[in-house]
Amino acid sequence: NIVKREHELFDMKMKEKETQMESLKKTIDDLKRKSEQGSMQLQGEAQELLLEQILRENFPFDAITEVGKGVEGADCIQLVRNNTGRDCGKIIYESKRTKTWSNSWVDKLKNDMRNKCADIAILVTQVFPKDMDRFGLRDGIWICNFSEVGSVSLLIRHSLIQLYEIQKREENKGDKMQMLYDYLTGLEFRGQVEAIAEGFKAMKDGITRERMQMEKIWKEREKQLEKVLISTSGLYGSVKGIAGASVGDIPLLDGDSPVNEIEY
């Protein structure tokens, strides 16, 4: 009985040791898992900060907003602005630093894009889907790695600004055409055209009056000139009749060129 009791006590102690070992192993595993999770979280936060730094350095005039920790949604938001400071669009970013790809990231980011009223969503990751080896579009979401995010953001940002400018040009096109039509058919435009026409008519009438006055003056001077020539011719004839050949010939007054044929 004593031996049996000793065996039982030994077995109980062994069970206690095994239980303690199992509990200790579980505790170690939990601590290890928490440590790994903490390390991954720190790595993720560092990557988010790096992404924000890249965007701020490349696009200093855009508004780069960090999404707070614990807040549902993307990691950061880029409000694109043109050279006049006008808001042209919104891009949201999500960064991932894991060893395996998950299709759920795309669905989540699409939902975040709708909630944030964003125009474009970019997923920055170090691992791609199996059918992708570089940046590209997947279900409406742009996917790229950290070495590509600067170039991808630049192209998308430029496209957003161009689209904004086109929309602004087309936005009021119908209103402007209606305004132009109303102006061309309105009293103001008619009055301006009439004023221009009246000005031209007044100028033409003035030129006509001046021409008539000048023609009258020319006719009067022509008559006066004829009288002077006739008187001069008569005087020349009288002098020549008295002096004879001693007076030199003046063909113009000798009758060779009639007065009415003289060019003025």
Tokens encoding 131 = 């059918």
More confident residue, 257 or 13: 13
Q: How many CB atoms lie within 10 A of CB 236?
A: 16
Q: How far is CA 2 from the centre of its chain?
A: 98
Q: Counting beta carbons within 10 angstroms of the beta carbon of residue 252, is it exposed (0 to 12), middle (13 to 18) or buried (19 or more)?
A: middle
Asked if pLDDT for residue 45 goes beyond 90, the answer is: no
Instruction: Report d(CA 81, CA 86) in Å as an integer.
Output: 5
Q: Which residue spans within 82-138 are E strands per DSSP? A: 87-96, 120-125, 136-138
pLDDT tens digits for 205-218? 888 888 888 888 88
Q: What is the DSSP string of 142-192?
A: EEE-TTTHHHHHHHHHHHHHHHHHHHHHHHTHHHHHHHHHHHHTSHHHHHH
Give the global pTM. 0.53
- The whole-number average pLDDT for the span 228-255 is 70
pLDDT of residue 264: 46
Fold of domain 44-171: Trna Endonuclease; Chain: A, domain 1 (3.40.1350)
pLDDT tens-digit readout, 108-165: 999 998 988 999 999 999 899 988 888 888 888 999 988 888 888 998 998 899 888 8
Domain extent listing, the chain: 44-171, 187-261
Cβ neighbors of 101 (< 8 A, separation 6 or more) are 125, 127, 128, 129, 130
